[in-house]
Structure 1
Amino acid sequence: MTTERKRKRPQKSESLTIRLDPKMRFALEFVARLRGQTITKVIERAVLEAADRSYIEDDNHNIEANWLSYWDVNDGIRAINLALDQRTHPSFEEEEMLDFVKTHWNFFAVSPDLSCLRRQNIEVLWPAMPKLIELWRETKTSDRCAVRQVMEQLLEGAGLHKDSWGMQPTSKEKRSHPDLDDEIPF
């Protein structure tokens, strides 16, 4: 078996444990039986129907968004999308993550407003976010470059080179690699 096949594949679904009283359990089984569905399918459809009917409205009660406005297959993009909108009531942890992303926006987005996210960078950095945020807490007053260096290593390790990150090199990096045209006398 190859190494790739031995690696754990991401789950396509997750399990959820809920407590139901006997009456609710019977009602759920009854609906599943009548529809010829599994209990899981009945619950999934009920949740999707409720989500489709749940909207975020502006001050004039105009519909602005529903769950699909925030959904993305990438959990990092989903988390950023939700945390950006205060109307979704982000938790402290989500707000802290968003503050980290905004502070290091050039790793995660094209511009500081986070309107266009860098998918390939997020795919690489997101699994390490808990450790990155912890390192940021520990070093932001003593070594503000520590987290940046770790993120650069993660991106380089994934085969993403600085020119594909969409970030401009620092002035120090520019000086260490002079433009060859500068050395040509004509």
Structure 2
Amino acid sequence: MATESKRKRPQKSESLTIRLDPKMRFALEFVARLRGQTITKVIERAVLEAADRSYTEDENHNICTNWLTYWDVNDGIRAIKLALDQRTHPSFEEEEMLDFAKVHWNFFAASPDLSCLRRQNIEVLWPSMPKLLELWRETKASDRYAVKQLMEQLLESAGLHKDCWAMQPTTKEKLSHPELDDEIPF
């Protein structure tokens, strides 16, 4: 039982395997020895220092953002933020995921530009993204509601109310459907 609960905890860190030539390995061990740190801590600090000095630039070479702009504890939020910014060179898979999120924006954000992300929905939907994307690829030409229904089921089973993803009618839609207009109390 105790072993089972340990397996369910999220990982606090991940393992990374790198190849170093003997000279680089010695240099790394030397720095760790001088600083009284582990090799891992030396690498972590070096990466953070490099990341802190790395910024995206706009077309006029003005500094815009660094890694902290995109960082979030939630994988889905990080992925969406990175994919939204072309300066981070998103891969095809990231662009496909972003296109999916834009088409189904109401499940992921409060607006179509994805500027205000819906954390609670992303926390529920993100683990299922590979399955959702696969279903979307298979059904978007024949049944565009299949993936929408699956997302609704996932959110409802997590206890999230339809208000967390229902789209509000636009002014144009309200004008074409007078029964949707708010009642005027006079």
The aligned amino acid for 1:147 is V
**2:12 aligned residue:** 12
Residue correspondences, number: 171
The one-letter code matched in structure 1 to 2:20 is L
Q: Which residue of 2 aligns with 1:95?
A: 95
Q: Percent of counterpart pairs with the same letter?
A: 86
CA drift at 1:142: 0.6
What root-mean-square deviation, in Å, do the aligned CA atoms of Structure 1 and Structure 2 show?
Answer: 2.2
Q: What CA distance in whole angstroms lies between the structure 1 residues aligned with 2:6 and 2:90?
A: 37
The aligned residue for residue 167 of structure 1 is 166
Q: Is the 8 A contact 2:106 2:167 kept in 1?
A: no
TM-score by length of structure 2 reads 0.87
**2 CA distance for matches of 1:60 and 1:98?**
26
CA positional deviation for 1:161: 1.6
Matched residue type, 2:149: Q
Q: Deviations over 1:141-180 (max 9, x none)?
A: 11000000000000011111213x142489xxxxxxxxxx
Residue deviations 1:38-89, cap 9 Å, x none?
0000000000000000001112222110000111110100000000000100
2:42 corresponds to which letter in structure 1? V
Instruction: Name the residue aligned to 1:156.
Output: 156
TM-score, scaled to structure 1: 0.87
Residue 82 of structure 1 aligns to a residue whose secondary structure is helix
Aligned to 1:183: none
Equivalent residue, structure 2, for 1:108:
108
Partners of 2:59 and 2:86 lie apart in 1 by 14
1:32 to 1:19, Cα distance in 2 relative to 1, 3 A: same
2:121 counterpart residue number? 121
Q: Measure how far apart 1:138 and its partner are.
A: 0.3
